[in-house]
Amino acid sequence: MNLIPTAIKGLFIAETDSISDHRGTFSRLFCERDLADAIGSRKIVQVNRSLTFSSGTVRGMHYQNTPHLEMKLVRCMQGRILDIAIDIRAGSPTFLQWHAEELSPENSRMSIIPEGFAHGFQALEGDSELLYLHTNFYKPESECAILYSDPRLAISWPLPTINLTDRDQRCPKLSHDFCGIEV
């Protein structure tokens, strides 16, 4: 695995090498040793899968609040998505900056999103399947979200946004006094 830092400190992209022959391909999807510079001593405690049926669908922008902060490792197993991570760490020099990364099985990339980031994505193809590895257990009482279309963020979604849940449509915009979450 090749670990690529982004312009936002702590946010990484991992590229996976594939071995191909006449039988097919083989890829290591997670290796604690290869990813040590990004994940440190954190442990994966939960693995989730999502399947998004229609292109244009947006899911997010979600995060877990203190004390249940989590790192997410996100990989697209089928289809294609635009993955978005927003820095919402209090005091961060890149506060409210976001990074977009196209993830697909073909590019073998994985987003490594640390604690203190909101996360979401848009399906660029129908039947896009994601695999999520989490360093903390999901706690509904700690889940928060930011409106996907918040003008303060000005996220450039490549397709018209469709199929948002009621919850994602009703997420609040960032208040002018929002100064981030403590990490």
Q: What tokens does 125 get?
A: 């193809």
DSSP run (H or E) holding 168:
helix 166-169
Whether 64 contacts 72, CB under 8 Å: no
138 is an active site residue: no
Give the CATH number of the domain where residue 59 resides: 2.60.120.10
62 included as an active-site residue: yes
Q: CA 20, CA 22: separation in Å to the nearest integer?
A: 7
**178 located within any domain:** no
Instruction: Given the residues 62, 99, 138, 176, select the one marked as catalytic.
Output: 62
**Assigned domain for 160 exists:** yes
The predicted pLDDT at position 164 comes to 96
160 — pLDDT class (breaks 50, 70, 90): very high
Instruction: Tell whether 35 is covered by a domain.
Output: yes
> What confidence score (pLDDT) does residue 126 get?
98
Task: Kindly state whether residue 69 falls inside one of the protein's structural domains.
Answer: yes
Q: What's the domain range around 107?
A: 2-17+29-169
Task: Indicate which residue of 63, 99, 132, 134 is catalytic.
Answer: 132
pTM of the model: 0.96
Contacts of 139 by beta carbon, 8 Å cutoff, 6+ apart:
64, 68
Inside any domain, residue 74:
yes
Of the candidates 79, 73, 102, 63, which has an alpha carbon nearest to the alpha carbon of residue 183? 63
Taking phi over 0 as left and psi of -120 to 50 as alpha, with beta for the rest, 79 belongs to left
With beta carbons less than 8 A apart as the criterion, state whether 114 and 143 touch.
Answer: no
Mean pLDDT of 62-73: 96
Question: How many separate domains does the chain show?
Answer: 1
Instruction: Please provide the average confidence, as pLDDT, over all residues in the chain.
Output: 97
Residue 177 lies in a domain: no
